[in-house]
Chains A and B, each alone.
Chain A
Amino acid sequence: MGAVEKQRSGLAATGAWDYAPSPESREIVSLEERYGLFIGGEEVSPRSRSWFTTVSPATEEPLAEVAQAGARDVARAVDAAREGFEAWSAWKPSERAKVLFRIARILQERARELAVAESLDGGKPIKESRDVDLPLAAAHFFYYAGWADKLEYAFPGRRPRPLGVAAQIVPWNFPLLMLAWKIAPALACGNTVVLKPAETTPLTALLFADVCRQAQVPPGVVNIVTGDGSTGAHLVRSEGIDKVAFTGSTEVGKAIQRELAGRDIALTLELGGKAANIVFDDCALDQAVEGIVNGIYFNQGHVCCAGSRLLVQESIHDQLVRKLKRRMATLRVGDPLDKNTDIGAINSKAQLERIVELVESGTEEGAEIYQPPCRLPEKGWWFAPTVFTNVAQSHRIAREEIFGPVLSVLTFRTPDEAVEKANNTMFGLSAGVWTEKGSRILWMADRLRAGVVWGNTFNRFDPASPFGGYKESGFGREGGRHGLEAYLRFE
């Protein structure tokens, strides 16, 4: 249209409107050079005498040295938790609640510091760590603090009792939030924990150790052991644990389940996903586009419940894809600490390689790739937001979890076909449905084999809402009253 071209010259004098850099200050976080393990209420040096460096994925800059816990360190942590359990499980539940309330309040007070640390260590945009991770982490502690002295009412007549020592392994995509999902219900139910943060993102867990000290969590109730996969393996093999809670890849989840076979240890797994985001032709289109973007580009797509398979009704495919591509061009990729950044850094080199490999398979198998023009920083690990069209159900990019900012678009014709295609996966963690018809959302939710079905929204979390998978996405629920059950036995 000529008119727009003409008007463009009006602005051409001043150029495009670039937002000036607006970085959140790093000053608020003061990191130690070295972090030991948090065992029995104090920081201790690892008996393994080995350390590793955690780096910022956005700049590859080393942030701190962190202990690599070996078998003896893990055993020591489990012993401390065992010891701590005797006293903690006998505490008056309302007193346990106070401790959790204190943690929640301290998380709120130190929210900015923790948000900056999370973005530094993990690469996620500060607006997400500030507006999503931290508020939700605090909310989880508030929520489960409320349950601590009401367990008898949550399970009337079933005499709920704590399990004992919970071994908890959390992933690198939401380090502090997943810590909160694990620790809050465990403590509320009277258990003690040994938590292993992910190798690439240990910092907020180590800062959380300080939060525990501040909140006067009794010694041995929360123990934190850092390290790579071998530390996790030691933890799962430990004598003296009563429960394993794992969030991470399906592959490791299966290995853990094999390891625990024949042992009397409770297990919950929250694993991978390949969620279908299903868009019907009667939906509010522009808002669906926002939901699609939020579904897959939130946290660089490092989200187990990400809406990575877009199922679009064929009649609106072209229009929707056009809108989506235009919207993708406005995404701001770059410095995670910049308040205007929408997409941050890929968490690690290994993850970037996996994304690249799968994206190459997509092009090779004949899908059509689109990436908006964007300048990626030279240092660090980055991947531009990507969408594939012309994807077939049999392509690897439609079946395997990519865990990156990569969306695969498929089409369907009827609601029945949408259900069939959505369920045709080994995973079953989440799904989204976009339609103006409330009745159709309910019809779909009845038929979708996924732990969470979002209606006209995506990636919404609340501590009161249970979360968990079907099939290879795992079992057990976190959040809500259901989340308590994973940390209780019934007499």
Chain B
Amino acid sequence: MSQTLALPRTLELPGGGRLPRVGSVDAVALEARAAELAKRSIKRESKVFALELAIRMMDLTTLEGADTPGKVRAMCTKAMYPDPGEPSVPHVAAVCVYPSLVPVARRALKGSSVKIASVATAFPSGQAPLAVKLADVRAAVEAGADEIDMVLDRGAFLSGRMGQVYEEVVAVKEECGNAHLKVILETGELGSYDAVRRASLVAIAGGADFIKTSTGKVSPAATLPVTLCMLEVIRDVHDETGLVIGTKPAGGIRKAKQAVQYLCVLHETLGVDWMTPDLFRFGASSLLNDVLLQLRKQRTGIYRSPDEFTLD
């Protein structure tokens, strides 16, 4: 495997002959900035906007060994009609399931514009031979997945085999065909923001349409600072190359308030142009109901009982 691929070709700067800059991240200042943005006070109509957007950006997820066709069908219904009593509530962006359940989701979502995302490449560890990972991707795509959430090979990344990481992303991208590729960095295992920055660059260079924080199986999963760190990479890549890449924080986002904080970070880092489900997603299993609860509070002025919202 190539060891020389410090920064892949697509990130070389146009003209000028300057050395490409990987850049570094100062952890203290990054966390301070994220904490500052988390204090934004979002009220009334701006809150309603954020909550509805959060629903439109949601990848409603179930990734359990105990998942069954029944469970996935129920979740698909919830994805299309999050609040059956309130038709103005939009549907979520996508459901996210294991490859074996993609056909079930396909049937359940027939006729709706909710997308199907499937994890692949030996999720969540990524510890399988490349051929197995590619077969995993192929199966998911053939079963009808619109989006593939692959896991970055942290073993290769942490041992410094950047070339291998890059080439694997390239191979998976090819296998995806028309399906969108999200690359899960599993930031909780990378150890530093500098590593998150490098992993983001390698994933983007390899062809990721989205970079995603976490599998949800490792703690810490998504955090505000790590998401900010990834958004800053995306901003730099856009500045240098014009490429437009999306972000998906996943895992640990359970409350509407957190979702609004993420949207503030997105808003003040990349701007309103990037505030669309095409470029930002929340990977979450239990966030939706809290958003619905808060949304109804905004509409009616009253906190309703959680039992008014369906479990799935």
B279 at the A interface (CB under 8 A): yes
Q: Which residue of A lies closest to B277 (CB)?
A: A10
Q: Is B218 an interface residue (CB 8 A)?
A: no
**A22:B276 contact, CB within 8 angstroms:** no
Q: List chain B residues, Cβ under 8 A from A374.
A: none
Interface stretch (choices B36-44, B155-163, B181-189, B282-290)? B36-44
B40 touches A19 (CB 8 A): yes
Contact residue among B25, B49, B244, B267 (Cβ-Cβ distance under 8 Å from A4): B244
In the complex, B307 has a CB within 8 A of chain A: no
Residues of B within 8 Å of A214, CB to CB, are: none
Residues of chain A with a CB closer than 8 A to B268's CB: 330
Partner of B49, one of A1, A14, A288, A340: A14
Tell me how far the C-beta of B246 lies from the nearest C-beta in chain A, rounded to whole angstroms.
10
Nearest-neighbour CB distance to chain A for B225, whole angstroms, equals 11
Chain B residue with Cβ nearest A12: B272
A127 at the interface (CB under 8 A from B): yes
C-beta contact mask, A350-373 vs B, less than 8 Å → 1, else 0?
000000000000000000000000
Chain A residues closer than 8 Å to B243, beta-carbon distance: 1
Q: Mark A17-36, 1 if CB is under 8 A from B, else 0.
A: 11111100000000000000
* B interface secondary structure, majority: helix
In Å, the complex CA distance between A19 and B24 comes to 31
Residues of the A chain whose Cβ atoms lie less than 8 Å from the Cβ of B26: 283-284, 287-288, 456
Chain B: interface residue total (CB-CB under 8 A)? 36
Task: Provide the residues of chain B in CB contact with A325, threshold 8 Å.
Answer: none
Distance in Å: Cβ of A63 to nearest Cβ of chain B: 24
Q: Does A255 contact B (CB under 8 A)?
A: no
Checking B24, B43, B263, B275 against A22 with a beta-carbon cut-off of 8 angstroms, the contacting residue is B43
Q: Does A7 contact B (CB under 8 A)?
A: yes
Q: Which of B44, B238, B244, B275 contacts A17 (CB 8 A)?
A: B275
Chain A contacts for B47, CB-based, 8 A: 20
Residue among B24, B45, B50, B263 facing the most chain A CB atoms (10 A cut-off): B24
On whether A284 and B275 interact (CB within 8 A), knowing A17-B49, A17-B267, A20-B45, the answer reads: no
A17 to B48, CA, bound (A): 11
Within 8 A of A (CB), among B1-53: 23-26, 28-30, 32-33, 39-47, 49-50
For residue A60, CB closer than 8 A to chain B, the reply is no
Set of chain A residues within 8 Å of B279, measured between Cβ atoms = 7
A50–B261 Cα distance when bound, in Å, is 51
With known contacts A1-B244, A287-B30, A290-B29, A11–B272 Cβ distance under 8 A: yes
1/0 contact string of B250-283 vs chain A (CB within 8 Å):
0000000000000100011000111110110000
The smallest beta-carbon distance between A66 and chain B, in angstroms, is 32
Interface flag for A90 (CB, 8 Å): no
Chain A residue contacts of B272, Cβ below 8 A: 8, 11, 16-17
Cβ B41 vs Cβ A340 within 8 A: yes
Interface string of A431-464 (1 = CB under 8 A from B): 0000010000000000000000000110000000
Residue in chain A with minimal CB distance to B275: A11
**The residue from A16, A127, A285, A456 contacting B23, defined by CB atoms under 8 A apart:** A285
Q: Is A150's CB within 8 Å of the partner chain B?
A: no
Q: A1-B238, A4-B244, A7-B278 are in contact. Are A20 and B30 (CB under 8 A)?
A: no
Say yes or no: is A291 at the interface (Cβ < 8 Å to chain B): yes
CA distance A114 to B238 in the complex (A): 44
Asked if A286 is at the interface of the complex by the 8 Å CB criterion, the answer is: yes
**Most chain B CB within a 10 A radius of its CB, from A282, A284, A322:** A284
Tell whether, in the assembled complex, residue B29 and residue A20 are in contact, meaning their CB atoms are under 8 Å apart: no
Q: How far is the CB of A226 from chain B (nearest CB, A)?
A: 33
Report which residue of A1, A131, A282 has the largest number of chain B beta carbons within 10 angstroms of its beta carbon: A1
Specify which of A14, A20, A131 is in contact with B43 (CB 8 Å cutoff).
Answer: A20
Tell whether A261 is near chain B: CB-to-CB under 8 Å. Answer: no
Chain A residues contacting B40 (CB-CB under 8 Å) are: 19, 339-340
* Chain B residue with Cβ nearest A436: B24
Q: Assess A284 versus B267: contact at CB under 8 Å? Given A17-B50, A436-B24.
A: no
Question: B242: CB under 8 A from chain A?
Answer: yes
Decide if B175 is an interface residue (CB 8 Å cutoff).
Answer: no
Contact B42 A457, beta carbon cutoff 8 Å: no
What's the minimum C-beta distance from A77 to chain B, rounded to whole angstroms? 40
Question: Is A457 a contact partner of B28 (Cβ separation < 8 A)?
Answer: yes
The interface bits of chain B over 56-70 (1 if a CB of A lies within 8 angstroms of the residue's CB, else 0) are 000000000000000
Selected contact of B276 from candidates A1, A7, A284, A286, CB within 8 Å: A7
Pair B273/A20 contact, Cβ less than 8 Å: no
* Cross-chain contact B33 with A287 (CB below 8 angstroms): yes
Residue-wise, chain A 273-286 has the 8 Å CB interface mask toward B (1 for contact) of: 00000000011111
Q: How far is the CA of A436 from the CA of B24 in the complex (A)?
A: 8
Task: Please report the C-alpha to C-alpha distance between residue A231 and residue B43 in the assembled complex, in whole angstroms.
Answer: 45
B312: interface (CB < 8 Å): no
With an 8 A cutoff between CB atoms, is B232 at the interface?
yes
Q: Shortest CB–CB separation between residue B228 and chain A, in angstroms?
A: 9
Give the residues in chain B near A7, CB-CB below 8 Å: 244, 273-274, 276, 278-279
CA distance A290 to B272 in the complex (A): 20
What are the interface flags for A322-363 relative to B under an 8 Å C-beta threshold, 1 for contact and 0 otherwise?
100000001000000001100000000000000000000000
Compute how far the CA of A199 lies from the CA of B274 in the bound complex, rounded to whole angstroms.
47
A22–B41 touching, CB < 8 Å: yes
The CA of A21 and the CA of B40, in the complex, are separated in Å by 11
Which A residues are CB-close (under 8 A) to B45?
20
CA–CA, A285 and B24, complex, Å = 7
Residues of B contacting A18 in the complex (Cβ-Cβ under 8 angstroms): 46
The answer on a CB contact under 8 Å between A284 and B24 is yes
Chain B residues, CB < 8 A from A283: 24, 26
Q: Which residues of B contact A21 (CB under 8 A)?
A: 43
* B238 to chain A: closest residue by CB: A1
Assembly CA distance A290 to B265 (angstroms): 14
Q: Looking at the assembled complex, report how far the CB atom of B271 sits from the nearest CB atom of chain A, in whole angstroms.
A: 8
- A231 to B242: give the CA distance in the assembly, Å: 61
A423 → chain B closest CB, angstroms: 25
Give Cα A291–Cα B26 distance, bound, in whole angstroms.
Answer: 11
* Closest Cβ–Cβ distance, residue B199 to chain A (whole Å): 17
Which 10 A-B pairs give the minimum distances between C-beta atoms?
A287-B29, A22-B41, A284-B26, A287-B26, A339-B41, A10-B276, A3-B244, A20-B46, A20-B44, A1-B242
B residues at A contact (CB < 8 Å) = 23-26, 28-30, 32-33, 39-47, 49-50, 232, 238-239, 242-244, 263, 267-268, 272-276, 278-279
Give me 7 other A-B pairs in contact (C-beta within 8 A), A1-B242, A17-B267 excluded.
A3-B244, A7-B279, A11-B273, A282-B24, A284-B26, A287-B30, A457-B28
Q: List 18 A-B contacts (CB under 8 A).
A: A1-B242, A7-B274, A16-B272, A17-B46, A17-B263, A19-B42, A19-B43, A20-B45, A127-B39, A285-B23, A286-B30, A286-B232, A291-B29, A339-B40, A339-B41, A340-B40, A340-B41, A457-B29
